[in-house]
Amino acid sequence: MQDIRSIVHTMKTLSVINSAPYEHAASAIAAYHETVLLGLHAVLSQVGPLDVGPPVNGTKSFVVFGSDHGLCGNYNEALAAHLTQHMAGGSERDTILCVGAQMTDALSDLGMTPQTTVFPPASVDGIGRLANQLTQQLADIQNSLGSGDMAVSLAYVTRDGPVGQRPVVTDLLPLDPGLVRNLQRKPWSSRSLPSFSMPPSEVFQALVRGHLFASIFHAVAEALVTENAARLAQMQQAEKSVDDRLESLGSEIRSVRQSEITTELLDVIIGFEALKKKRGNTASQPKDVLAETHSGGPRQT
């Protein structure tokens, strides 16, 4: 149990250490995302109103971010159940891109089969690689459906307050009409008007890809932060259980040791009483009997 507690403590420490780089990555990509939104604001302020509507064929692509490292409770199962409720009544042509083999198993148990499964990043350096890979796969799906006919939603676990977390499904494409409307109505703050040499449609598509990449990057980082937070919570519970078990075992050991000491003391006391009784019997015998005993029997006359 002491060895198990050492392992649990090590896992708890690693969960705390691993969360910090992913939190920094989420903060860094948020700054990049603000730059992309600023570019969208510049384009929309010059090209005029943009009508954003639902996809023509009504199909969606869901990107689900799970955990493959384990020791984090029902992390995958809770997200899979939430996604199932969100997809209820959807089209049979909806596709699922899954991050993590264990997440794929959780979805399969609920009757959903992902189209593609990719490995989650092993470190913060792999977040960009995974975001690029998913962005390219979504672009291939868009090309197969036709230009402009694309809907993408991200399913992951996000932080909810200082210690809580909850699964969410956020719509990524088409762009949120409220976001587009706010960017169009927001006045340009600089005295210099924005300009670009590329055609407005190409600039807009490039910025949308940047928005897609930044959103996926943020979802990956957020999922990794909450995964380590869930693992930390599980390790804290395990550490408490191990401590309770160690205390119970210590009490049991003390009880057994006391029983052994009591038994040994009773053996000593019983032996002492037996020797004392034997000596008392020897001292109470008559002297002539003792003499006969020492001489070998009664004397003949």
pLDDT digits (tens, 9 = 90+) for 6-28: 998 888 888 888 888 999 998 89
Q: What are phi and psi of 98, to 5 degrees?
A: -110, 135
All residues at 6 or more sequence positions from 297 whose CB lies less than 8 Å from its CB, including other chains: none
Alpha-carbon distances of 184 from 44, 174, 202, 251, 279, rounded to whole Å: 6, 16, 18, 71, 113
pTM here is 0.77
66 touches 103 (CB < 8 A) = yes
* Summary mean pLDDT of the chain: 84
For the chain, percent of residues with pLDDT exceeding 90: 37
Among 73-82, 126-135, 158-167, 251-260, the range scoring the smallest mean pLDDT is 158-167
